[in-house]
Homo-oligomer: A and B are copies of this chain.
Amino acid sequence: MNTNKLFSEEQKKAARYAKAMAHPVRMYVLELLSKQSCCYSGDLSEVLPIAKSTLSQHLKELKDAGLIQGEIESPKIKYCLNKENWEEAKQLFKNRFNL
């Protein structure tokens, strides 16, 4: 399917963000971060019933989608929302669906 002209960039972005949210683990992480600003991936690892490698994969997806960012605080990594993109995502959803 050639999507070049048929969907707006905004629709594609909104769908992309929705995809990043489309898994309970990732929803959990986003929800946590939207409430407490930061967390360590070790803390997530303790609480979530998945292998570390799997968690790492989910965090990578959130990073690739632009919704979170990690900061090294050796030996841990501190994750926060990427505020700019997070605001964009919220705006996209609000505008589309008048939430």
Contacts and interface: CB of A to CB of B under 8 A. Distances in A.
A64 to B, nearest CB: 14
Nearest to A94: B99
B24 A98 contact: no
Interface residues of A, number: 34
B19 A15 contact: no
Name the prevailing secondary structure of the A interface residues.
helix
A72 interface: no
Nearest to A22: B19
A24 B2 contact: no
A49 to B, nearest CB: 5
A11 B30 CA distance: 10
Given A14-B27, A21-B18, A24-B12, A34 B97 contact: yes
